[in-house]
Amino acid sequence: MKTTKFGEDLRRSLIVGGALSALVLAPCQASAQEAQSSEAQGETGLAEIVVTAQKRAEGLQNTPIAITAVSGDNLSARGASNISNLQSITPNLVFDTTAPVSGVSSGAIVFIRGVGQTDFQLTTDPGVGTYVDGVYMARSVGGVLDVLDLERVEVLRGPQGTLFGRNTIGGAISLISRRPADKFGVRAEATAGSRNMYNGMLTVDLPLSDTVKSKWVGSFRHQDGYVRGLADSRLLGNTQRFSLRGTIEAKLGSNLTATLSGDYGEVHEQNAASKLVGISILAPGSSTRTDYRYNVATGGVITSTTTVPPGAPTLTFLQNLTPNTYDARYITPNLDTTFATGPNGTALKIWGGSLTLALDVGFGELKSITAYRETSGRFSRDADGSPFAVAHTRNSDYGQNQFSQELQLTGSALNDKLKFASGLYYFDENGHDILTVDLPVLFGTVNNYAYVNNKSYAAYAQGTYALTDALSVTGGVRYTKDKKAYRVPLNGGAILNGPAAVFGPVGTFTPFFPAGTSRQTFENTAFKGSIDYKFGPRSLIYLSYSQGFKSGGFNTRYLVPVPAVVPFAPEKLNTWEAGAKWEGLNRRLRLNAAAFWSDYKNIQLVVYDSGAPLTRNAGSARIKGFELEATALPLDSLELGFSAGYTDAKYRSVLPLNPLVAADQQVTLNSRLPNTPEWSINAYAAHTLKVGNSGEIRSRVDWSYSSLVENDSVNSIFLRQPGYHLINASIGYHDVDKGWSITGFVKNLTDKRYIVSGDSNFGIGFHEANFNPPREWGVTLRYQY
**Tens digits of residue pLDDT in 45-98:** 898 889 999 999 999 999 999 999 999 999 989 988 899 999 999 999 999 999
pLDDT band, very low/low/confident/very high, at 445 (cuts 50, 70, 90): confident
Residue 4: the pLDDT is 44
Among left, alpha and beta (phi > 0; psi -120 to 50; other), residue 285 is left
Given a cut of 70, whether residue 704 has pLDDT beyond it is yes
- Between strands 589-601 and 619-635, the pairing is antiparallel
23 contacts: CB under 8 Å, gap ≥ 6: none
Q: Tell me whether residue 206 is exposed, middle or buried, using C-beta atoms within 10 angstroms of its C-beta: 0 to 12, 13 to 18, 19 or more.
A: middle
Mean pLDDT of 107-116: 96
Q: Which residue has the higher pLDDT, 5 or 624?
A: 624
How confident is the model at residue 56, as a pLDDT?
92
Give the span between the Cα atoms of 412 and 419, in whole angstroms. 4
Arithmetic mean of pLDDT, 270-280: 94
Burial classification of residue 272, based on how many CB atoms lie within 10 Å of its CB (0-12 exposed, 13-18 middle, 19 or more buried): buried
The answer on pLDDT for 285 being more than 80 is: no
Average pLDDT of every residue of the chain:
90
pLDDT at residue 2 is higher than 80: no
The count of structural domains within the chain is 1
What backbone phi and psi angles, to 5 degrees, belong to 328? -65, -10
Percentage of the chain lying above the pLDDT 90 cut:
77
User: Would you say residue 507 has pLDDT above 80?
Assistant: no
Residue 131, H or E segment:
strand 128-132
| β-bridge pairing 239-251 and 212-223 | antiparallel
- Asked if the model's pLDDT at residue 14 lies above 80, the reply is no
How much is the average pLDDT of 116-121?
94
Q: Across the beta sheet with 337-338, what order do the strands follow?
A: 235-236, 227-229, 337-338
Q: How far is CA 316 from CA 286, 305, 561, 609, 766, in A?
A: 11, 15, 17, 12, 9
Q: Which residue did the predictor score with more confidence, 491 or 236?
A: 236
Q: How confident is residue 714, by pLDDT bands cut at 50, 70 and 90?
A: very high
Task: Assess whether pLDDT exceeds 80 at residue 483.
Answer: yes
For residue 744, pLDDT over 90 is answered with yes
pLDDT at 510: 82
Burial class (CB in 10 A: 0-12, 13-18, 19+), 720: middle
Structural domain for 422, as ranges = 3-784
> By the 8 A CB rule, do 541 and 530 touch?
no
First to last CA, the chain: 50
Sheet architecture: strand order including 171-177: 67-71, 150-157, 171-177, 128-132, 135-137
Judged against a pLDDT cut of 70, whether residue 316 lies above it is answered with no
pLDDT higher than threshold 50 for residue 24: no
Once rounded to an integer, what is the mean pLDDT over residues 338-344? 93
Where residue 501 falls among pLDDT bands split at 50, 70, 90? Answer: low
pLDDT digits (tens, 9 = 90+) for 581-638: 999 999 999 999 999 999 999 999 999 887 789 999 989 999 999 999 999 999 999 9
Rounded CA-CA distance 522/51 in Å is: 32
Q: Pairing state of beta strands 58-59 and 135-137?
A: unpaired
What's the CA gap between 257 and 182, in Å, rounded? 14
Higher confidence at residue 763 or residue 77? 77
Lowest mean pLDDT among 14-28, 52-66, 341-355: 14-28
For the domain that residue 160 is a member of, what is the CATH number?
2.40.170.20
For residue 20, what pLDDT is reported?
37
Residue count of the chain, please give it: 785
Task: Answer yes or no: is pLDDT of 214 > 50.
Answer: yes
Q: How many helices (H) and strands (E) does the chain have?
A: 2, 46
- Give yes or no for residue 307 having a pLDDT over 50: yes
| pLDDT reported for residue 390 | 85
| pLDDT the model gives residue 105 | 94
Residue 30 has pLDDT above 70, yes or no: no
Quick one: CA dihedral 4, 6, 9, 10, positive or negative? Answer: negative
Q: Which amino acid is at 768?
A: E
pLDDT at position 320: 57
pLDDT of amino acid 34: 35
In the chain, the percentage of residues whose pLDDT exceeds 70 is: 91
Going by pLDDT thresholds of 50, 70 and 90, the confidence category of residue 567 is very high
Mean pLDDT of 750-767: 93
Asked if the model's pLDDT at residue 317 lies above 60, the reply is no
190 or 35: which leads in pLDDT: 190
